Structure 1
């Protein structure tokens, strides 16, 4: 009996799709925070040679915020009742820049999202720690 060519094509497409799917995201638990990170994952302990980590999860990560504020202070009265001390406010119309430096991030017991990957040289299994997560 002759093989159906459509089934052959569908089989090739299915195999290609399976082989090129993105790995699924998993959950790990921090045992030791960075820089000597250890993560419990799928019955094994990952350490810093096994993982890549989002830099904003590291202590010392600096982020800069810039913007413009337009507002006013709340009305406030003062003095002895003279006109110059009547209830008034002050306009706020300023540009700002604010730097935030992270001093506290991952702690033992925190859960993280992990995505498996192959190392850059294709020689070993590694993992990307994407973010800290919580279950509500």
Structure 2
């Protein structure tokens, strides 16, 4: 800034730029599942978002499986017979979820901005939400 420039004008200009960035920055929101996959539709702010606007963890996609390897925790029980001594079981199988989406589910949507870092072009469906007060 030079000596002839109005310092207040520069301050107002700087505040206006900061306010524009803050006001245009997308934030997280709550969407409602209108239709589950394979024809997924989520209602958000008066719009219906379909698969071309949504990203989700592949674990949430019906039919996706993941291979689990490990073992159960040691447990004992029963009548005290040797057959019921503390023991564990191996795990080596595929796991899949079949009830990941239902009409009316509330989901957390995180906006994904375009190249301008302001315009939302896609959404990430992060998780299903439940209010703790039951509403």
Structure 1 residues 76 and 39 mapped into 2: Cα distance closer, same or farther (>3 Å)?
same
Q: Residue 131 in 1 paired to residue 127 in 2?
A: yes
Gaps of at least 5 residues in structure 1 are 78-86
**What do the CA deviations read for 1:62-98 (whole angstroms, capped 9, x no partner)?**
2333334452432436xxxxxxxxx433342554334
Counterpart CA distance in 2 for 1:72 and 1:30 is 40
Structure 1 residues 39 and 70 mapped into 2: Cα distance closer, same or farther (>3 Å)?
closer
Paired residues of 2:37 and 2:101 also in contact (CA < 8 A): yes
Which structure has the highest helix share of the two?
A: 2
Structure 1 consecutive aligned stretches of length 4 or more whose deviation exceeds 6 Å: none
Q: Residue 35 in 1 paired to residue 38 in 2?
A: yes
Number of residue equivalences: 122
Q: Corresponding residue for 1:111?
A: 106
> Could you tell which deviates more after superposition, 48-57 or 105-114?
48-57
**What do the CA deviations read for 1:111-134 (whole angstroms, capped 9, x no partner)?**
1111222358x9972222111111
Q: Residue 23 in 1 paired to residue 19 in 2?
A: no
- Provide the TM-score with structure 2 as the length reference: 0.67
Structure 1 residues 59 and 17 mapped into 2: Cα distance closer, same or farther (>3 Å)?
same
Q: Corresponding residue for 1:99?
A: 94
Q: Corresponding residue for 1:74?
A: 77
Which secondary structure state, in structure 1, belongs to the residue aligned with residue 100 of structure 2? coil
Gaps of at least 5 residues in structure 2 are none
- Structure (1 or 2) with the larger CA radius of gyration: 1
Structure 1 residues 126 and 71 mapped into 2: Cα distance closer, same or farther (>3 Å)?
closer
Structure 1 residues 114 and 70 mapped into 2: Cα distance closer, same or farther (>3 Å)?
closer
